[in-house]
Structure 1
Amino acid sequence: MSGWRLQLRQAPPLRVDLRGITPSTLAGLDGASVEQLKVGYGNAALPLAEFFSVAPASEDALVLEGDLSRVDRIGWQMDGGRMLVDGPAGDQAGGCMRAGELLIKGCAGVLVACEMAGGTLVVEGDAGDFGASTLPGSMDGMRGGTLVVKGRVGHRFGDRMRRGTVVLHGDAGDFLGSRMVAGTIALGGQAGAHVAYGMRRGSLVFAGGRPAAGLPDTFVPAGAEAAVFWQLLSRELARHGGTFESLPRRRIERHLGDRAVAGKGELIFAG
Structure 2
Amino acid sequence: MNGHRLTLKAVPALRLDLRGVLPEALAALGPGEVERLPIGCGRALQPLADWFDIEPFEADEPTLHLHGDRAGLARVDHIGEDLGGGRLVVHGDAGDHLGSGMRGGELQVRGAARDLAGCELAGGRLRIDGDVGAACGSARPGNLDGMRGGLLLVGGSAGERLADRMRRGTLIVAGDVGEHAASRLVAGTLVIGGALRGRHAGWGQRRGSVVWLDAAAARHWHGAPPPGYVPAQADAPVAWALMARDLLRIGADIAASPDAAPGWATLAARLAALPSRPAPARLLGDIGVDGLGEWLLPTG
TM-score, structure 1 as length reference: 0.96
Aligned pairs (5 A) from 1:65-144:
65-66=67-68, 67=70, 68-144=73-149
**Structure 1 residue 102: Cα displacement:** 0.1
**More displaced stretch, 204-213 vs 187-196:** 204-213
Matched, 1:257 2:262: no
Aligned partners of 2:76, 2:108: CA distance in 1, in Å?
Answer: 15
1:227 alignment counterpart: 237
Aligned partners of 1:242, 1:4: CA distance in 2, in Å?
Answer: 34
Aligned pairs (5 A) from 1:210-249:
210=217, 212=220, 215-238=225-248, 239-240=250-251, 241-249=268-276
Q: Encode CA deviations 1:64-106: one digit per residue, 9 max, x unaligned.
A: 0113100000000011110000110000100000110000000
**Structure 1 residue 58: Cα displacement:** 4.8
Aligned partners of 1:219, 1:167: CA distance in 2, in Å?
Answer: 22
**Structure 1 residue 224: Cα displacement:** 2.3
Aligned partners of 1:93, 1:153: CA distance in 2, in Å?
Answer: 14
TM-score, structure 2 as length reference: 0.87
Aligned partners of 1:137, 1:64: CA distance in 2, in Å?
Answer: 29
Q: Encode CA deviations 1:192-243: one digit per residue, 9 max, x unaligned.
A: 2221111001000001133657531311111222111111111211232142
SS of residue matched to 1:145: strand
Name which of 63, 66, 73 aligns with 1:64.
66
**More displaced stretch, 176-185 vs 188-197:** 188-197
**Contact 1:89-1:108 at 8 Å conserved across structures:** yes
Matched, 1:27 2:54: no
1:194 alignment counterpart: 200
1:5 alignment counterpart: 5
SS of residue matched to 1:5: strand
**Contact 1:94-1:116 at 8 Å conserved across structures:** yes
* RMSD of aligned Cα (Å): 1.3
Matched, 1:206 2:206: no
2:161 alignment counterpart: 156
Structure 1 spans left out of the alignment, 5+ residues: none
Aligned pairs (5 A) from 1:14-53:
14-53=14-53
**Structure 1 residue 28: Cα displacement:** 2.4
SS of residue matched to 1:174: coil
The letter for the 2-side match of 1:25 is A
SS of residue matched to 1:99: coil
Aligned partners of 1:57, 1:77: CA distance in 2, in Å?
Answer: 23
The letter for the 2-side match of 1:148 is L
**Contact 1:188-1:244 at 8 Å conserved across structures:** no
SS of residue matched to 1:24: helix
How many residue pairs align between the two structures? 271
Aligned partners of 2:174, 2:231: CA distance in 1, in Å?
Answer: 26
The letter for the 2-side match of 1:205 is V
Aligned partners of 1:127, 1:242: CA distance in 2, in Å?
Answer: 22
Aligned partners of 2:189, 2:18: CA distance in 1, in Å?
Answer: 29
**Structure 1 residue 17: Cα displacement:** 0.5
**Contact 1:31-1:55 at 8 Å conserved across structures:** no
Aligned partners of 1:243, 1:171: CA distance in 2, in Å?
Answer: 15
Aligned partners of 1:267, 1:217: CA distance in 2, in Å?
Answer: 13
**More displaced stretch, 65-74 vs 186-195:** 186-195
Aligned partners of 1:160, 1:105: CA distance in 2, in Å?
Answer: 27
Aligned partners of 2:230, 2:27: CA distance in 1, in Å?
Answer: 52
